[in-house]
A and B are shown apart, each in its own frame.
Chain A
Amino acid sequence: EDKVVQSPLSLVVHEGDTVTLNCSYEVTNFRSLLWYKQEKKAPTFLFMLTSSGIEKKSGRLSSILDKKELFSILNITATQTGDSAVYLCAVDGGGADGLTFGKGTHLIIQP
């Protein structure tokens, strides 16, 4: 059975800190790994990673995938209170396999 494990499950930091969120996976087939930010209803898409070692960046957020060690990290630098959310990691197994989601990391940024 495909598995995605995120850590930590929750994290409280102060504004301005840098955080690293982890996602490890075990899937039969791998097509891509996706990161989402969930605040209210629909999660917002952040990154899709398919290749090892290539960092994707968007503003203060960046992410990288290691397909050998089967994990990805999401970094947020200079955190702001608006970064408070649940961050979800999901792996797309392709074909008849679905998306497998982790349980999310609940990030709280204190002023």
Chain B
Amino acid sequence: DVKVTQSSRYLVKRTGEKVFLECVQDMDHENMFWYRQDPGLGLRLIYFSYDVKMKEKGDIPEGYSVSREKKERFSLILESASTNQTSMYLCASSLVEEETQYFGPGTRLLVL
């Protein structure tokens, strides 16, 4: 069974802090994704990666960066957190682009 884990379920940070969200998948999937989900807006793609050290911007990359040094791990970085980055962050992975994405449980981030 595919397992996607995220480092924290609930996180509270202050404006200006650097925030790291970690995601790990155990199925040797090529593709990994970071989304944020806000009420009324559904899932919005921030960044995705189709291989180690490869990354591509999604629909809303501003204010975020990512790192994929190992195949199983995809990190989302908020260089300087702002209150408008308060959201639910979801990580997902898939074997190939068109196949089902498996989601982690999400991290609820609150930026004060």
Contacts and interface: CB of A to CB of B under 8 A. Distances in A.
A66 to B, nearest CB: 23
B43 A45 contact: yes
A96 B9 contact: yes
B77 interface: no
Contact of B108 (A42, A86, A96, A103): A96
Interface of B is mostly: strand
Interface residues of A, number: 22
Chain B interface size, as a band, is 20 to 34
Given A42-B58, A43-B43, A45-B42, 14 more contacts: A38-B100, A38-B101, A40-B98, A41-B33, A42-B45, A43-B101, A95-B10, A96-B9, A96-B10, A98-B90, A98-B104, A98-B107, A99-B88, A99-B106
